[in-house]
Structure 1
């Protein structure tokens, strides 16, 4: 086990090197937040994929094929459709001005109130959702430390892991700025992809069966189902082909067209063509990335055949129990890589939105704001440790689904901004419409148990409807 610890220490040292190596020339905002738009689009593409791939993705995607089949790839097809729409429809507007925060685009069209409101919703969503992702990322490290025989409770080991993970990420994010974050993301992408392929190879080795035989076994068990054409009148239709494609497209439009953390990587490139390559290329790469982790889940099903396993924990248990030292350290580093890339990007984007959308750059430097939000995210990630199990589960579910409730109205705001028509109401009332749309989406989603793939289109429709109703009303008056 000592070699696993050495691997993790080496990984942290490597991350520190990137942070301090790119620490120069970061005094101006454009340098700290966009790296002067000098980074090649391929690196930004890999950074985008690493950023959107959290540790939850790394650990949870295999559970989908372990307990089911490959229908999740329908969502990935929808992702590609959505990114293409963003690349062709929304992205040209972002490159037409000289904005650093994408929410400045909303402010230029509708005023400061909508700009600050959508920035505030983004902030709350990220602090809650990514704080919880950081908490989940610390669990495998706690398992590793517990396996080493350290005389502490699992909760305390988790806090130690969480603190270490946070400190390292905060330091290189604050010191190195956007440039360091991007190149560290690229490093981390290669690490967790290597970890995925290694896990796949290890499973094939341990199963010791021909690949064709394994494929045949999975086919017999119905594990290769991809497209779901059957609509269930009273069941869960999240993966019904039409809903899955529409939902996936809307998710991607919202995340890659309106979420500052991800859009930041696209507008940091030198021109529109490069930005479009980043968006569409990342959709293709994410599809094959999902396929890799779904394959891992299928092989885990064969590996644990006949055993009762919790699907959401099966990959973590395989890593901790079956991977030998020092390769265990590499896979834990892969989990850390997927978590740290998301965390560092969140820190930088939260700092950016409060610097530009709230005008905090008049009083605080980019590094000071990044330090503040890094510490805030760390505090939010500690919350689940102090909650009873029932509330912890509720918080986790809220953190994972909150983006589905906010992205629909956010997409509507940007589509309205992209259109030529002016608002029929004041910016303040438009902001109230936006917040009302989110609350109504939450109420409808919880009250009617709507499929998650439909939550974003519903939120989009509510926001558009409120604006159109007000437009008709004012015309009559």
Structure 2
């Protein structure tokens, strides 16, 4: 355990170095949020991938192939389609002006009310979703502390882990700004990819059967199926090939075309061509990542063959039970890397949207805003510890699905802004339409148990419908 802790301490020292090394370069607001657009597009590409790869992705994707097959790759192919659409259709507009926040683009077209509404929805979504991701990311550190023999309750150990994780991330985010975050993301990407490859190799080494025999067993068990062509009239069709591709494309259009945290990495490059390389290239890298994580799940299925295991915890249990010291420290560092890259980016992007979309830069410096949102995220990550089990499960599910409810209407707003037609209503009424679309999507999704791959297209359609109805009504008048 001593060597595992030493690995983690060394990892934290490197992260601190990046934060303080780049602190001197953050003289102005554009430096702190976009690094003067001086960072090479390839580093921004890896930063984008690291940012969207949370610890939930690292720990949970293997569970999909452990309990099922490879059909999740259908959605990943949809991701690639969606990013291509953003790169060719939406991205040119973001580079045509001199905006730092992507919501400023909407504000320039439709006024301050829609701009602030988008920013507010983004803020709530990130505080809830990423606060929960931070909570989940603390669990492996709590396991490590428990293995060291600390006689404390799991809740106390989890809070200690959260505190350590939050302090380190907040410090390098606040001190180093966007430039430090990007290069730390790159480091963290290499760490968690190494961790994934190491876990895959360790599983291969521990299996008592040959690779070819393992593949044969997986084929016999139908664990290598990829495409789902059968539509079930009364079943879950989330992975029906058409729905999966469309849903994946819409998810990616929403996340990489309208979510400030991810778009920030794209518009931080020097020109449109570089931004397009970042978007499309990141889709390819993410697809390869998913293949790696799903392969881990398949080998976990073979490794635990005949045993009853909770799919969502199987990878975490393998790490804690089977990985020897000091390699356990490396894998825990990989989990931390995937969590911290998302958390640091959230802190920076929340600071950015409130500085520019709400005008808080008139009163507060970028570092002050970043510190505030870092502490707010830390507090939100503690909430699950104080809820009864039933409520905790509910808020976890809401935190993980809330983006599906908000991205559809957000995409519609940006597509309307891209068009030449003016709004038939005021910006305030348009904001009401936007919030109504989100609430309607939530009601439809929960009421009719809609496949998650269809939630975003539904939200998109509702927002467009409301605008078109108001346009027809005003024509008649």
Please indicate the TM-score interval, normalised by the length of the shorter structure.
over 0.9
Helix, strand or coil at the partner of 2:23: coil
Taking the TM superposition and a 5 Å limit, the aligned residue runs for 1:260-299 are 260-299=260-299
CA distance in 2, matches of 1:294, 1:208: 20
- Runs (5+) with no aligned partner, structure 2: none
Partner of 2:221: 221
Helix, strand or coil at the partner of 1:408: helix
Helix, strand or coil at the partner of 2:325: coil
CA distance in 2, matches of 1:345, 1:121: 17
Partner of 1:382: 382
Helix, strand or coil at the partner of 1:73: helix
How far has the Cα of 1:25 moved from its partner? 2.0
Query: Are positions 1:120 and 2:104 aligned together?
Result: no
Give the number of aligned pairs: 477
Helix, strand or coil at the partner of 1:407: helix
CA distance in 1, matches of 2:193, 2:18: 19
How far has the Cα of 1:372 moved from its partner? 0.2
CA distance in 2, matches of 1:350, 1:344: 10
Partner of 1:306: 306
> Could you list the runs of 4 or more consecutive aligned residues of structure 1 that deviate by over 6 angstroms after TM superposition?
none
Partner of 2:235: 235
Helix, strand or coil at the partner of 2:97: coil
Helix, strand or coil at the partner of 1:275: helix
CA distance in 2, matches of 1:99, 1:389: 44
Taking the TM superposition and a 5 Å limit, the aligned residue runs for 1:159-170 are 159-170=159-170
CA distance in 1, matches of 2:65, 2:59: 12
CA distance in 1, matches of 2:21, 2:306: 51
Partner of 2:333: 333
CA distance in 2, matches of 1:338, 1:106: 31
Partner of 1:436: 436
How far has the Cα of 1:214 moved from its partner? 1.2
How far has the Cα of 1:210 moved from its partner? 1.9
Taking the TM superposition and a 5 Å limit, the aligned residue runs for 1:310-459 are 310-459=310-459
CA distance in 1, matches of 2:60, 2:278: 25
Aligned Cα root-mean-square deviation (Å): 0.4
TM-score, normalised by the number of residues in structure 1 = 1.00
Helix, strand or coil at the partner of 1:237: coil
Partner of 1:474: 474
Helix, strand or coil at the partner of 1:324: coil
Offset from partner CA, 1:364-411 (integer Å, 9 cap, x none): 000000000000000000000000110000000000000000000000
How far has the Cα of 1:192 moved from its partner? 0.1
How far has the Cα of 1:208 moved from its partner? 3.5
- Runs (5+) with no aligned partner, structure 1: none
CA distance in 1, matches of 2:41, 2:452: 32
CA distance in 1, matches of 2:195, 2:93: 38
Partner of 2:147: 147
Query: Are positions 1:45 and 2:53 aligned together?
Result: no
How far has the Cα of 1:209 moved from its partner? 2.4
TM-score, normalised by the number of residues in structure 2 = 1.00
CA distance in 1, matches of 2:421, 2:324: 62
CA distance in 2, matches of 1:444, 1:424: 26
How far has the Cα of 1:27 moved from its partner? 2.5
CA distance in 2, matches of 1:154, 1:141: 11
